[in-house]
Structure 1
Amino acid sequence: MVGIAAVRSEGSSGEPQRSTARATALGIMAALAGLMFGLDTGVVAGALPFIATDFHASDALQGWIVSSMMAGAAFGSLAAGRISSRYGRTGAMLVAAVLFLVGTLLCALAPSALVLIVGRVFLGLAVGLAAFAAPLYISEITVESARGSMISFYQLMVTLGIFLAFVSDSLLATGQHWRWMLGIMAVPATLFLGIVLILPHSPRWLMMQGRKDHARRVLNSLRSDEEVAEAELADIQARLHKSSDAGFGLFRSNPNFRRSVYLGMLLQVMQQLTGINALLYYAPRVFQAAHFGVNASIWATTLVGLTNMILTGVAIACVDKWGRRPLLILSCAIAGFALLGVGALLAVGASSFEAQIALCGFVLLFVAGFAIGEGPLVWTLCSEVQPTRGRDFGIGCSTVTNWAANWAISKTFPMIMVAMGAASTFIMFAAFNGLFVLVTLMMVPETKGVSLETLEANLFSGKKLRNLGR
């Protein structure tokens, strides 16, 4: 096994194997699923105040409008593993692309809040499928030396989508054109649909279907060294033949696989408890609590999206150099400190101009902290620690967990803000970021530069989770 991993990691010159331009291009195209994810996540923040006015929506109904997408995403994630296993990662993304388009049109043309909620459920189904299939596809076509950066690029596309949605909302806010805010998403949805149609299946999925010759052709086009491609193909085949169990059968019979599944689920819960999505979905409302005007709060929200995107780019540049654990710990520490600042300012009122500037600074610092680690690295780690035969099931469980936690927080956040007060709410999220540091130190492995097959071998040998990359 060590010999195979060494061949896979290095080309004929002994240098670490790099992805070909084709592999990089395909990874970027698959990452456009993240753009759709971000667009549909971010657009509701700016549109919600105007939707609430037109439909006379109470706090509870606004919670349903926002959280209905998360509920749909949870169900989409449940179906994603089966669809991805049967029709391939590209098949799952194709279904997602169609759902993105249908959901967008329903939302833009909605005559009532109920139809709008149905449209957002369709968007949620699409997001659940895309969030499952795209990072999985990218991890399976990319060499380990670039895997962290490429999967993090998916998260960069998410942040780009959120930022573009915020910009669009800001430009359309003066006319209160919330239908245009939602309807303009049909353009990227159509683009994504066209791109998915030209993506090849991943070599690992083809091997799972017994299509070895097809897998060899695809893998040879993705690797610059044919010897490395053949060794990787043999390694995948060895992993597939090692156990007859897969999915839930493997989960039920193998305690080591259960550990990786539980780790993925825990990481997704912790990501949601950082408070990021509560802020992204309700950012204008948070700024209004600090006495920002409606339009000013929407533009401040756009600045949040820009910070999120830029710092995610920093994470991409650092993840395969610094490693996962150091970035994640730094991320949690910065985010927790910033949220304490937000809570303190909200506690004293933040009514002066100087206090409003300070509040905005702390919010941006929190977003920056999240973006360099907690955002991209959770998805990276969840796609890396699952073994080949259980990857669909394991990533499916972690993705469902993400959306279930996302739904719970987005549904309850307006009521938590009322019950606890804005200050106490953000101090609570700061404490969860501190807890995330402890989880990282105790359980998260360093996977930088380690092949998926090596991680799998260490998992099944019974190594502690934090030592899987050693």
Structure 2
Amino acid sequence: MDAVVVKIDSKSNLETPQMSTIADSNVPTHPRSKRFGLFVCLMAALAGLLFGLDIGVISGALPFIAKHFVLNDRAQEWIVSSMMVGAAIGALGAGWLSWRLGRRHSLVLAAVLFIVGSLWSGFAGSPEHLIGARLLLGLAVGMASFTAPLYLSEVAPRQVRGAMISTYQLMITVGILAAFLSNIGLSYVADWRWMLGVIAIPAAFFLVGVLALPDSPRWLLQRNRGAEARAVLQRLYANPADVQAELDQVNEDNTRPQQGWSLLRKNSNFRRSVALGVVLQIFQQLTGINVVMYYAPRIFELAGFATHEQQLWATVIVGLVNVVATFGAIAFVDRWGRKPILYAGCAVMAVGMCALGFLLHAGVAGLTAQVFAVASLLLFIAGFAMSAGPLVWILCSEIQPQLGRDFGIAVSTLVNWVANMAVAATFLSLLSTVGEANTFVLYAILNVIFGIVVFFYVPETRGVSLEKLGSNLMAGKRLRDLGKLN
């Protein structure tokens, strides 16, 4: 879940305080600059809200869709996973589109696809039409998951860049919660068409807002449009010295051309960092998070919640915990470090899934057992939201060297959506083949394996500059040692 791509430039705020030369004056001090910067960042982050809405809405609508079209489990899996197919394609093409069209125009295209896909979903006359509509929505989600954080990293003032990118992550969880609440309101009229189609309304607001956004200064400079880049920066920064400093920094970064396939072919060290990014994204999905997000009502039905209204209210609690726990990740990731939080998250997720599996094996009968089942699921959600959810995306950006960062992030994003699709397309089949309890125990085991992978291969990157991480990688150091300063 929570497909977020973070692009960080080589002089980002991940450097140690001793190495950083960024002055506090880089934060816009003029009220007009602050308002404009806030507007730019919030509009781009709204892509995360739409992303979350499309993830969350299907869980409430699916039971009504299945009843309306008389669908078996396999057909339901296709409806859910079709969006991931589109997202994988969208993420694969987003890098080229954002380079050719620019970040802003790519977001405009994503907004249009959100609107068309949502309306098509609401008016779908057959399961095939619904799958086609969700494929289109997936294209929008895939494009947004690459382009919005990239745009934010290039436009947000340097001193608040991390917070603004984290806002995108937070907006995804808010969108999921909003979808769960919307599902409850519309469940009383059993109208799945409104559940799916109503997303066109925030998508339209997003389109209007994105049309008012400026192009990325970095992209403009890459196109030799320096005067336009300066004009954008003048609106973002009140101090002319800050404008010039930012222009100098962007020009310096642009002197290092990106490499992709060529670097992958000729450099085994780069292949190691790409491989680690791929493994991290696969394990993020194997935690089982999107099983919960896509099939939450079905899981609560297994836990003994008889009515659909009860299942949806329980799902809302899941969304609320997801939002609150994400604040924990934002607060502690730069204090405690990446690996300690991932260890804790993997342990918590394994315990939550294992407890739910054992409860289902014993039989969830009575209010006490239901409460423990919900608590187990919420424990899992909290563990994911404060660890694997945001940290995998952060690590996937940090471990890639400057020469191949765009390519490495694009590959890991594509793999995330492919793994997402595979998990979503197999969950109901797993329930019917290996059994309900064994399915959740299997996810618990996978979370334990994830923790072992973190121990042996993931570096601690807190407080280490991207230049140092890249030089350690290219020098052939072990992946787990990339964050060591000597």
Instruction: Go from structure 1 to structure 2 and tell me whether the alpha carbon gap of 1:235 and 1:134 turns closer, same or farther (over 3 Å shift).
Output: same
After superposition, give the CA deviation of every residue in 1:239-263 in whole Å (9 maximum; x if it has no partner).
54345x6232333233333333222
C-alpha separation between the residues in 2 aligned to 1:241 and 1:424? Answer: 54
CA contact (8 A) 2:86 2:135 kept: yes
Corresponding residue number in structure 1 for 2:379: 365
SS at match of 2:255: helix
Instruction: Go from structure 1 to structure 2 and tell me whether the alpha carbon gap of 1:126 and 1:62 turns closer, same or farther (over 3 Å shift).
Output: same
Of 49, 63, 67 in structure 1, the residue corresponding to residue 63 of structure 2 is 49
Q: How many residues align?
A: 466
| More helix, by proportion | 1
- The letter for the 2-side match of 1:92 is S
- The letter for the 2-side match of 1:286 is I
After superposition, give the CA deviation of every residue in 1:15-67 in whole Å (9 maximum; x if it has no partner).
69657745454333211111111100110000000100000011110011111
Question: Is 1:376 matched up with 2:387?
Answer: no
CA contact (8 A) 2:180 2:316 kept: yes
CA contact (8 A) 1:335 1:367 kept: yes
Of 427, 440, 447 in structure 2, the residue corresponding to residue 413 of structure 1 is 427
- The alignment's C-alpha RMSD in Å is 2.7
287-296 or 133-142, larger mean C-alpha shift: 133-142
Corresponding residue number in structure 1 for 2:7: none
CA contact (8 A) 1:10 1:17 kept: no
CA contact (8 A) 2:110 2:143 kept: yes
Instruction: Go from structure 1 to structure 2 and tell me whether the alpha carbon gap of 1:238 and 1:461 turns closer, same or farther (over 3 Å shift).
Output: farther
Q: Which runs of 5+ in 2 are unaligned?
A: 1-9
Of 34, 42, 50 in structure 2, the residue corresponding to residue 28 of structure 1 is 42
C-alpha separation between the residues in 2 aligned to 1:141 and 1:206? Answer: 11
CA contact (8 A) 1:145 1:449 kept: no
Corresponding residue number in structure 2 for 1:75: 89
* Cα displacement (A) at 1:230: 4.9
TM-score, normalised by the number of residues in structure 1? 0.90
Corresponding residue number in structure 2 for 1:40: 54
* Cα displacement (A) at 1:441: 2.6
Of 255, 276, 300 in structure 2, the residue corresponding to residue 241 of structure 1 is 255
Question: Is 1:426 matched up with 2:431?
Answer: no
Question: Is 1:107 matched up with 2:118?
Answer: no
User: What aligned pairs does 1:386-397 form with structure 2 within 5 A after superposition?
Assistant: 386-397=400-411
Question: Is 1:290 matched up with 2:295?
Answer: no
CA contact (8 A) 2:61 2:195 kept: yes
CA contact (8 A) 2:66 2:72 kept: yes
C-alpha separation between the residues in 1 aligned to 2:61 and 2:173? Answer: 18
C-alpha separation between the residues in 1 aligned to 2:352 and 2:155? Answer: 37
C-alpha separation between the residues in 2 aligned to 1:441 and 1:365? Answer: 22
Q: Which runs of 5+ in 1 are unaligned?
A: none
TM-score, normalised by the number of residues in structure 2? 0.88
* Cα displacement (A) at 1:76: 0.8
After superposition, give the CA deviation of every residue in 1:208-244 in whole Å (9 maximum; x if it has no partner).
434445445545655677666655654554454345x
C-alpha separation between the residues in 2 aligned to 1:407 and 1:137? Answer: 26
Corresponding residue number in structure 1 for 2:164: 150
C-alpha separation between the residues in 2 aligned to 1:443 and 1:217? Answer: 44
SS at match of 1:350: coil
Instruction: Go from structure 1 to structure 2 and tell me whether the alpha carbon gap of 1:325 and 1:17 turns closer, same or farther (over 3 Å shift).
Output: farther
Of 421, 425, 450 in structure 2, the residue corresponding to residue 436 of structure 1 is 450
Question: Is 1:257 matched up with 2:270?
Answer: yes
* Cα displacement (A) at 1:199: 2.4
Corresponding residue number in structure 1 for 2:418: 404
CA contact (8 A) 1:97 1:126 kept: yes
User: What aligned pairs does 1:171-320 form with structure 2 within 5 A after superposition?
Assistant: 171-219=185-233, 222=236, 230=244, 233-242=247-256, 246-293=259-306, 294-320=308-334
Instruction: Go from structure 1 to structure 2 and tell me whether the alpha carbon gap of 1:122 and 1:25 turns closer, same or farther (over 3 Å shift).
Output: same
Instruction: Go from structure 1 to structure 2 and tell me whether the alpha carbon gap of 1:199 and 1:111 turns closer, same or farther (over 3 Å shift).
Output: same
Instruction: Go from structure 1 to structure 2 and tell me whether the alpha carbon gap of 1:340 and 1:259 turns closer, same or farther (over 3 Å shift).
Output: same
CA contact (8 A) 2:114 2:140 kept: yes
Question: Is 1:354 matched up with 2:355?
Answer: no
- The letter for the 1-side match of 2:104 is T
C-alpha separation between the residues in 2 aligned to 1:93 and 1:335? Answer: 34
Instruction: Go from structure 1 to structure 2 and tell me whether the alpha carbon gap of 1:387 and 1:467 turns closer, same or farther (over 3 Å shift).
Output: same
C-alpha separation between the residues in 2 aligned to 1:224 and 1:198? Answer: 20
After superposition, give the CA deviation of every residue in 1:93-147 in whole Å (9 maximum; x if it has no partner).
2211111001001000011111111110000010010111112222333467644
